[in-house]
Structure 1
Amino acid sequence: MPGAVPPGCSLPAYARDLVRMHDAVIGGGRPALRPREVVSRSWSRVLGLGLKADGLNARDWLGEDELARRRETSPLRTAVADLRQVLGGMSHVLLVVTDADGAILWREGPPAVRRRADDLGFFEGAEWTEERVGTNAIGTAIAEAAPVELLAGEHFEQGQHPWYCTASPVHDPRTGELLGVIDVSGPALTLHPAIGALVETGRRLAESQLWRWHQQRLDRLRQAGEPLLTAGPAVVVDDNGWVASSAGVSVGDRITAPADGEPIAVPGLGACLPERLAEGWLIRPASTDRRVALDLDLTRTPLLTLQGGTAAWRRPVTRRHADILTLLHCAGPAGLSAEALSRALYGDAEHVVTVRAEVSRLRRLLGALVDTRPYRLADGVRMTVRET
């Protein structure tokens, strides 16, 4: 967590210098103190969106029903109680947990600080992205895919200058996908050097809890499914396609996420029709034909056709997923590392987190047909690409 205050600086004096810096930069002058790179990048993005720095920009927030729905479906809901114990007991501090869209799902803190936050629109249901409220630790952490701490005048909106905020993105430990952000905010002159370490501790706690919950669920599913694996090659998976147990076939850690009545293709098993279990699915071959073929049609909107034995499906895919599949097809059995895929897609190796999240979403569609370490098409998968 990069701290907002340089070592040895007086917090009150430095906070005043940051406000002067903000006024000079926004006014078109040359400040004595230059913005940090993360702040400069964010201000450039925000100015490009046409947001105003003097006062508050238009807020948007979720309705009560939508807020309740997002809380219920958030993977972070299981970690909120422990986060309160680690981060929620400090005076003059707000603990905030958002979803991946930057919408505040939970907020804890002393009444006086909550009232001040209400005046900024910093409450449950509010969307705190850069697009909505300018440079702030939550929105900037999402935009930068990295922890962010901001103090006083580093915020784009002048209304946020009396505050500091320290935020860290939380990712799914299985896939790298962004799940939300943990943020601690408070009056600017109460910022302590330990805040960043506490927020990072909360982030690690949340991710370790998610991993433990995932393993416990797979253990229960494994125990329930083992008696069903004695009749031949089969796989037991959870609702997202994560493998709890298998027999007679090696499919890695994940297959296509099953859906009731919809055939899927699994390397080594061919076409399969998922069978519902209490907490997951039993995946068994639907025929003796174990071949799997993919056809990617790029002549118009990207369309992927899968043929596995007697089963087939056809689905549109995003342009990004089409690019990834094309790159993996060209790479052949050697595959591509996350860094190499980042360079091929974005021109540099700085987008590894984004690449991993994109491949995770692709594997939800194709499962073990796309292998990892390195990324490649699985053995036995034949693919054709039509570009003209």
Structure 2
Amino acid sequence: MHDAVIGGGRSPLQPRALVARSWSRVLEAGLDPDGRHPRDPLPMDQVLARRRESPVALVIEELRAIISSVADASQFLMVVTDADGIILWREGAARVRGRADSLGFEEGAEWTEEVVGTNAIGTALAEASPVQLFSAEHFEAEQHPWYCTAAPIHDPRTGELLGIVDVSGPAMTLHPAIVALVETAVRLAESQLWRHHELRLERLRAVAAPVLASVTGPLLLVDDHGWVAHTAGIAAQARIAVPRDRRPLTVPGLGLCLPEPLGDGWLVRPAGGETRIVMTLDLTGPPAVAVSGERPWRAPLTARHAEILLLLHRAGRSGLSAAALSSRLYGDAEHVVAVRAEVSRLRRTLGGVVESQPYRISPAVEMAVLGAPAG
């Protein structure tokens, strides 16, 4: 079936819908099923850097406890990647690790569909769902002696994809319980990630307790990612825009605020007599924004972020929906996901100057534009 379908011939059998979609994507990418596509693994120092940056590092021991404890006896490997499909951790039976090395299935290698064809890791990334592949369901002929079972792991707070947990081994050793094993490991890891989040907020509250006891008026205590640990005099909310030192931001219920560093977080409260942010979008050279006042600051912008700010400035208080902003940026309304991602990155840079639903410049911001193009 693999040879016939990929070769454009006829087959009495057809691949599963998931496999057919993946083969189609891989063929469009120009990969050769009989070729060996370059793996080019990252140097170990880059792998270690990615491990340190990955939230999955917080729960790798839990994954080892569930999966790796039976890997040697069951002749399989546990593999964990980041959201880019880069293998960061690989553990399991020594004999199987040796066979995996010959396949380029090693730490630092990228196992996306675009690089190595249909495989459980890359296809789970593409489909955003758990995947199990057996033998010739893999695109590359070299991978046919293998099975692989993979499931995405997400940040339980935001739903953001963090990586893939995969179990792989010789095809004829596949056990029916492997799917349940991987899904159970992912569920436990995500619950532990949530617990780590709660513990961080508890530690922040404990460190900030003396200061909070002496401060009056409405305020929020948030961590470095904007998650709220404590609130006083304002309706509870889960998260605000990410605070930045010397960067004013607007918070629903508090108005204009100047975040103050406190422990591993921020104390956020109204900015005294200040009622507006005076901001300039400077397009006379490399794009940048500048804020004047008692705590002035200036930040560079990407061309795309400058374009978004200019469009929102011209839209005024009515603002723009994600679809309308997509039409102005890309010429159609089909790039809503990309628009939301760009605005999210822009808000991390500017600290909540842009409001959502619809997207618009905050009423607390008085913005001028230098060097704006006509139109």
Question: Could you say whether these structures have the same fold, taking a TM-score greater than 0.5 normalized by the shorter chain as the test?
Answer: yes
Residues 234 and 140 (structure 1 numbering): CA distance in 2 closer, same or farther, change over 3 Å?
same
2:116 matches 1:137: no
2:125 matches 1:170: no
Alignment of 1:273-288 (within 5 A): 274-288=259-273
Partner secondary structure for residue 227 of structure 1: helix
CA distance in 2, matches of 1:234, 1:122: 50
State the match for 1:87 in structure 2.
67
Report which stretch shifted further, 310-319 or 170-179.
Answer: 310-319
Residues 271 and 309 in structure 1, CA contact (< 8 A), matched pair in contact too: no
One-letter amino acid matched to 2:201: L
One-letter amino acid matched to 1:112: R
% identical equivalent positions: 53
One-letter amino acid matched to 1:60: D
Report which stretch shifted further, 118-127 or 278-287.
Answer: 278-287
CA distance in 2, matches of 1:181, 1:314: 35
Residues 197 and 301 (structure 1 numbering): CA distance in 2 closer, same or farther, change over 3 Å?
farther
How far the C-alpha of 1:183 sits from its partner, in A, is 0.6
State the match for 1:47 in structure 2.
27
Partner secondary structure for residue 23 of structure 2: helix
Partner secondary structure for residue 179 of structure 2: helix
Residues 302 and 322 in structure 1, CA contact (< 8 A), matched pair in contact too: no
Consecutive unaligned residues in structure 1, runs of 5 or more = 1-20
Residues 287 and 306 in structure 2, CA contact (< 8 A), matched pair in contact too: no
CA distance in 2, matches of 1:357, 1:364: 11
Tell me which of 175, 182, 185 is aligned to 2:165: 182
Residues 155 and 300 (structure 1 numbering): CA distance in 2 closer, same or farther, change over 3 Å?
farther
Alignment of 1:1-388 (within 5 A): 21-88=1-68, 89-90=70-71, 91-229=74-212, 230-250=215-235, 252-260=237-245, 262-267=246-251, 268-272=254-258, 274-291=259-276, 313=298, 315-316=300-301, 319=304, 361=345, 363-365=347-349, 388=375
CA distance in 1, matches of 2:165, 2:279: 40
Residues 157 and 165 (structure 1 numbering): CA distance in 2 closer, same or farther, change over 3 Å?
same
Deviations for 1:46-100, whole angstroms, at most 9, x for unmatched residues?
2222222114211121112111111122111121111112122141221111111
CA distance in 2, matches of 1:293, 1:92: 63
Which structure is richer in relative contact order (CA contacts within 8 A, separation 6 or more)? 1
Partner secondary structure for residue 186 of structure 1: strand
Residues 164 and 187 in structure 1, CA contact (< 8 A), matched pair in contact too: yes
TM, length-normalised to structure 2: 0.79
How far the C-alpha of 1:377 sits from its partner, in A, is 6.2
Partner secondary structure for residue 167 of structure 1: strand
How far the C-alpha of 1:278 sits from its partner, in A, is 2.6
How far the C-alpha of 1:254 sits from its partner, in A, is 2.3
Residues 170 and 181 in structure 1, CA contact (< 8 A), matched pair in contact too: yes
Residues 219 and 244 in structure 1, CA contact (< 8 A), matched pair in contact too: yes
Residues 102 and 180 in structure 1, CA contact (< 8 A), matched pair in contact too: yes
Residues 277 and 291 in structure 2, CA contact (< 8 A), matched pair in contact too: yes
Residues 77 and 96 in structure 2, CA contact (< 8 A), matched pair in contact too: yes
CA distance in 2, matches of 1:181, 1:156: 19
Residues 366 and 40 (structure 1 numbering): CA distance in 2 closer, same or farther, change over 3 Å?
farther
Report which stretch shifted further, 134-143 or 288-297.
Answer: 288-297
Partner secondary structure for residue 76 of structure 1: helix
CA distance in 2, matches of 1:360, 1:286: 24
Partner secondary structure for residue 235 of structure 1: strand
CA distance in 2, matches of 1:174, 1:122: 31
Report which stretch shifted further, 144-153 or 114-123.
Answer: 144-153
Partner secondary structure for residue 186 of structure 2: helix
Residues 151 and 164 in structure 2, CA contact (< 8 A), matched pair in contact too: yes
Deviations for 1:2-30, whole angstroms, at most 9, x for unmatched residues?
xxxxxxxxxxxxxxxxxxx1111222212
CA distance in 2, matches of 1:92, 1:146: 25
TM, length-normalised to structure 1: 0.76
Residues 162 and 69 (structure 1 numbering): CA distance in 2 closer, same or farther, change over 3 Å?
same
Q: What number of residue pairs does the alignment pair up?
A: 361
Consecutive unaligned residues in structure 2, runs of 5 or more = none
CA distance in 2, matches of 1:277, 1:211: 23
Partner secondary structure for residue 90 of structure 2: strand
